[in-house]
Amino acid sequence: MFVFLLRRLVQAFVVMIIISVISFAIQNKLGDPVLQHVSMTVAPAERAQIRQDLGLNDNLVVQYWRFAKKAIHGDLGTSYYYKEPVLDVIFKKLPATFELAFCAIVMVAFIAIPCGILAAIKPKNIISRLVVALSTMGISIPIFIVAIFLVYIFSIQLHLAPSFGRGQTTDVFGLWESGLFSKDGLRHLMLPSISLAFALMPIFVRLIRAEMIEVLQSDYIRFAWSKGLNTRRIYFIHALKNTMLPVITVGGIQAGTLVAYTILTESIFQWPGMGFLFMDAVSRVDTPLISAYLIVVGGIFVVTNTVVDLIYGLVNPTVKLANHGL
């Protein structure tokens, strides 16, 4: 267990270093940060001076070294636009993204699991056929189309939900800006979380259905049938438990997808979270912020996967952590 964690830690570190190198290598391909911060009328000579002062003319290796030295002390730089340490900026936006993802995941869990199970145990049922058909359609419709239609119907036509932003937030213990405790905040959460859930739902419905079918055909379930166990017990205790294992693993891998989808959802709904921050940083050529975002997201991914593997090990003791996935 300890060795496993240690290895994971090393791995996370390596991932982050690689990401930081990549993000450094591409940063001057994204545009010129100086041009974004001066008016068009500033003379080229003056702009060159600003660039020099910022150290942007130095060799990339020199720049990376400078960055790395500071990074060791936990300082990933200062955002050009927010004028604050990049990590502070990112962590300030973290709650928004977290709440959005959380709501979407809750929605997925409450809808996808029953639907997936139903589709697996009653494949001939009209509803489960509908579920399967809808899930196939669901993965075929790009999220940006879904989102724009949600806005058109629920905000513009019906005036049921706001079309952008996060609304009123409340401070929880001074640490967390939450939108979950006010009516306004919840209303704002509606459309973005539905469209995010819409993007994830079909993947999970299909996955749960496939796993469940497979599990139901395994020997021990047949044995349970022949033993004459209660149907409900077989489905919900024996089969479901074993279905959820791979679902959890895949869930961990889907974290990457989730990040990509939050970027899209947040930019469409102007949701002030990390994904929106990232797109904004790209358009403003806020290079320190871009690098830091990539590093943080890489970190989050490694952490989720470690947690998933830990859970996997706890639920299923036959998996030896040290051998699994490492």
Query: For residues 207-246, which are near another protein according to CB under 8 A?
Result: 207, 210-211, 214, 217, 246
Binding to another protein by residue 30, rule CB under 8 A? yes
Closest CA to 290 of 303, 272, 277: 277
54: its two tokens: 């910022």
- The least distance separating another protein from the CB of residue 300, rounded to whole angstroms, comes to 9
Most distant pair of Cα atoms in the chain: their distance:
86
Binding to another protein by residue 44, rule CB under 8 A? yes
Between 6 and 230, name the residue whose CB sits nearer to another protein.
6
Binding to another protein by residue 107, rule CB under 8 A? no
Contacts of residue 171, defined as CB under 8 A and 6 or more positions apart, other chains included, come to 177, 178
Going 15 to 17 to 18 to 24, the CA torsion angle's sign is positive
Binding to another protein by residue 26, rule CB under 8 A? yes
**Is residue 310 within 8 Å of 321, Cβ to Cβ?**
yes
Binding to another protein by residue 180, rule CB under 8 A? no
148: its two tokens: 């724009």
Give the DSSP letter of residue 313.
H
Query: For residues 185-214, which are near another protein according to CB under 8 A?
Result: 207, 210-211, 214
Binding to another protein by residue 80, rule CB under 8 A? yes
Residues 259-298: x where in contact with another protein by CB under 8 A, - otherwise, as a string: xx--xx--xxxx-x----x--x-xxxx--------x--xx
- The least distance separating another protein from the CB of residue 159, rounded to whole angstroms, comes to 6
Residue 215 to residue 124: CA distance in whole angstroms: 18
- How many helices (DSSP H) and strands (DSSP E) are in the chain? 13, 2
Binding to another protein by residue 310, rule CB under 8 A? no
Query: For residues 155-174, which are near another protein according to CB under 8 A?
Result: 155-156, 159, 162-165, 168, 170-171
| CA distances from residue 263 to 57, 122, 167, 193, 268 in whole angstroms, order as listed | 31, 37, 19, 13, 9
Beta strand residue intervals within the chain, DSSP E = 170-172, 176-178
- The least distance separating another protein from the CB of residue 206, rounded to whole angstroms, comes to 8
Between 297 and 321, name the residue whose CB sits nearer to another protein.
297
Which residue of 76, 86, 105, 151 would you call a contact of another protein, by CB under 8 A?
A: 151
Please give the single-letter amino acid code of residue 82: Y
Between 181 and 220, name the residue whose CB sits nearer to another protein.
181
Between 137 and 230, name the residue whose CB sits nearer to another protein.
137
Binding to another protein by residue 58, rule CB under 8 A? no
Which residue of 6, 130, 148, 315 would you call a contact of another protein, by CB under 8 A?
A: 148
Closest CA to 237 of 204, 210, 215: 215
129: its two tokens: 């056929």
Which residue of 139, 237, 307, 314 would you call a contact of another protein, by CB under 8 A?
A: 139
